[in-house]
Amino acid sequence: LAWPLRGREGCQEGRYGGTMVMRRAAYPVAGVLLLAQVSLAFSPSLLPTLRALPALRPASASRSAAPLRGGRLHPSLLATVSDKSSDVETEKKQPRVGRGVLKCKPIGVGHAAPAVRLTNEGMEKVVDTTAEWIRTRTGIESRHILDGTETVRDLAIRAAAGALESSGLKGEDIDMVIVATSSAEDMFGDAPSVAAAIGAKNAFAMDLTAACSGFLFATVTAGQFLNNGASKNALVVGADALSRWVDWEDRNTCVLFGDGAGAMVLTATETEAEAGILGFEMHSDGNGYCNLKLPFTPTEQDIGGGVTVTQGGYAPISMVGKEVYKFATRDVPRVLEEALVNAGIEASEVDHLLLHQANIRIMEVVADRLGIPMDKVLHNLEEYGNTSAASIPLCLAEAVASGKVKKGDVIACAGFGAGLSWGACVLRWG
């Protein structure tokens, strides 16, 4: 018997293609496991009874190990129970201390994208695929990519300048700049250069790397500085150029990614009643890193004297699409529910749902599980594809510019991606 490892259960070496293989002696247990999973799917109340069955405990458990209360279930059953009881668990959750209101609010947004637009029809000439295949499976119809005439730093600067203009502030009013990116123009970071370009001479600046969760994590980080009085005005930028890091012969990944940037200005508020960050939650789990990665691939070089060093380089993006989809549709609804609990807001009170722009199918599942209609879901992945850390602010900037998002609107945002990392933040605009 063999079954695929779930992303949350780890990226274990020595497994065959991410598959755990059971010995022949385990075959008699397989039927019991299957029956138990089906039973739990329909009746979680059977959990105490199943815990008492020795056959459903891990074979590798040490006899001398301290017993767990009620016995220890096989991992596959734990996964089943966890998935089925998530709604009940959320109902029982209480707001987490320090994860609620942050005394700051968003007051300006901007965005930028490369001029070069590659449509799905254009992708048909690049890789073995069809425009319809891409559209129906992802919702993407085009993407914008850098062609060498500008850089990801240029995009970040344009987006930052737009956000600054939108906010009504001047560069010298900004005292904190965070650039969320996984593809900086300079390995040492782009934030100081972005700050200098917009005249933020009084700001300290830093890069933050958290892949597609980067902008959301950076927003919460900036919010903490504003909330505690360390800063007055902050600029948060999400900018990425993952077209540089895809394998253009891999049709499963190269059709997904585009380049772009988005930015948001946050300002401190005097009271919680004025605040625009109402609640948040963030998570990560490195056990699933192998499902979405861009790994370092060193080249050895003999520099003499018997010393060998490694020169830098990175492999193209590698993604196990099925596992990433399972991760997103399982954990994103949960983290949004957690953030809503921390904010003291019901899903029905949300005006807009804004997710990382990865796949329209993920958006549909998440919206459905939260009971939020699709007409409340903000999206522009059909035009830009997956722009990683840029996707949330780029989509928000367009929604504000079009008038779809208005002052006072409540926006539930969620980022998720490599790491694995995921988080959510409830914003009130303006």
Task: Report the catalytic residues.
Answer: 212, 356, 386
Separation of alpha carbons 67 and 65, rounded Å: 6
Q: At what angle do helices 391-402 and 152-167 cross, to 10 degrees?
A: 40
Q: Is 365 exposed, middle or buried (0-12, 13-18, 19+ CB in 10 A)?
A: middle
Collapse the DSSP code of 364 into the 3-class scheme (helix H, G, I; strand E, B; otherwise coil) and give the result: helix
Asked if the peptide bond before residue 420 counts as cis, ω within 30 degrees of 0, the response is yes
DSSP letter for each residue of 115-157: S-EEEHHHHTTTSS--HHHHHHHH---EEE---SSS-HHHHHH
Separation of alpha carbons 246 and 244, rounded Å: 6
Collapse the DSSP code of 5 into the 3-class scheme (helix H, G, I; strand E, B; otherwise coil) and give the result: coil
- Residue 364's nearest CA partner among 405, 339, 333 is 333
- Residue 43's nearest CA partner among 90, 91, 89, 85 is 85
User: Which pairs from 87-90 meet CB under 8 Å and 24+ separation?
Assistant: 90/334, 90/337, 90/338, 90/341
Separation of alpha carbons 24 and 99, rounded Å: 49
How many residues appear in the chain?
Answer: 430
State in Å, rounded, how far the first CA of the chain is from the last one: 56
Separation of alpha carbons 112 and 161, rounded Å: 10
Residue 75: DSSP 8-state: H
CB-CB contact of 117 with 142 (8 Å)? yes
- Which stretch of DSSP H or E encloses residue 27? helix 27-42
Q: What residues contact residue 13 under an 8 Å CB cut-off, 6+ apart?
A: none
Task: Enumerate the β-bridge partners of residue 264.
Answer: 109, 236
Separation of alpha carbons 22 and 26, rounded Å: 6
CA distances for 290 relative to 10, 165, 295, angstroms: 8, 41, 9
